[in-house]
Amino acid sequence: MKIDRRGFLKIGGLGILGVAAKPVIDVVSKVKLAEASAKKGVLVEKRLAMVVNLKNCKDGCTDCIDACHGVHNVPYIANPKDEIKWIWTEQYEKAFPDQEHRFIGGGMKGSPAILLCNHCDNPSCVRVCPTKATFKREDGIVMMDYHRCIGCRFCMAACPYGSRSFNWRDPRPFIKKINPDFPTRTKGVVEKCNFCEERLAKGLIPACVESCKNKALVFGNVEEPNSEVREILRSNYTIRRKPGLGTGPQIYYVV
């Protein structure tokens, strides 16, 4: 085949045009994909959340803490510097510092509030993790991959709720009875509540919710309008911890 100068320039020009058009086509096709997946999302939307009814929470009861720490091999270390906690209690006015005032009534002042990881919509811990050991699942659970945790503790600095604990020492000797079905952690990793994702996978509800006899803890999908959590959120006034920080905490409190 013989090609003259004019023909060569024509073919070359067409080729360059094609290469230049590719990014434009990519963008257009991505927009279409995003639209499609957003539509699909509406049908299967799932957002796990918990409602803590502080009115039902009995002073001195530690059923939920014992259940959680038992199944997850959370060590009991008395020294507060080294302590590990997935779910714990704190005085109401310390848990909700923005709600604090001199005349708190309704029996709330000094009464214990159940605290755990808020499984935020916009989790600051996930944002700072340099190894992506902490990540957010599609159903909203903020999870940890302990295999990837390098123990830098950025997440602990980022979490405004103190939901994360660092293993300063080997936790095994401090676990009363090891549950062989769930791993322990090791020295040098951060740990926190996982919303019982291993139990959810088996179709069970979280251990803390199951153990509560007074129905102070309710767990479910907030995107499902007929769910129990939504019913409680509809019929009660609820607050969240430090919502002004923009993390979008998903533990709601009935006070």
Residues that bind other proteins (CB under 8 A): 73, 135, 137, 143, 145-147, 178-187, 197, 201
Strands 48-53 and 251-254: parallel
Alpha carbons 232 and 213: distance in angstroms, whole number: 17
Q: Would you say 230 and 61 are in contact if contact means Cβ atoms under 8 Å apart?
A: no
Question: What minimum distance in Å lies between the beta carbon of 39 and other proteins?
Answer: 23
- Select 137 or 153, whichever has its Cβ closest to other proteins: 137
Question: What minimum distance in Å lies between the beta carbon of 217 and other proteins?
Answer: 23
Task: End-to-end CA distance of the chain: give it in Å, rounded.
Answer: 85
Question: What minimum distance in Å lies between the beta carbon of 88 and other proteins?
Answer: 22
Alpha carbons 51 and 252: distance in angstroms, whole number: 5
DSSP 142: E
- Select 85 or 185, whichever has its Cβ closest to other proteins: 185
- Alpha helix (H) residue ranges in 133-227: 154-158, 197-200, 207-211
Question: What minimum distance in Å lies between the beta carbon of 162 and other proteins?
Answer: 23
CA neighbours closer than 13 Å in the CB half-sphere of residue 179: 15
- Select 186 or 227, whichever has its Cβ closest to other proteins: 186
Strand partners, 175: none
Question: What minimum distance in Å lies between the beta carbon of 163 and other proteins?
Answer: 19
Q: Would you say 234 and 224 are in contact if contact means Cβ atoms under 8 Å apart?
A: no
**Token pair 């023909």 in the structure block, residue:** 7
Q: How many CB atoms lie within 10 A of CB 44?
A: 9
CA neighbours closer than 13 Å in the CB half-sphere of residue 135: 10
- Select 73 or 163, whichever has its Cβ closest to other proteins: 73
- Select 154 or 182, whichever has its Cβ closest to other proteins: 182
Question: What minimum distance in Å lies between the beta carbon of 141 and other proteins?
Answer: 9
- Select 184 or 211, whichever has its Cβ closest to other proteins: 184
- Select 8 or 76, whichever has its Cβ closest to other proteins: 76
Alpha carbons 126 and 255: distance in angstroms, whole number: 29
Question: What minimum distance in Å lies between the beta carbon of 186 and other proteins?
Answer: 4
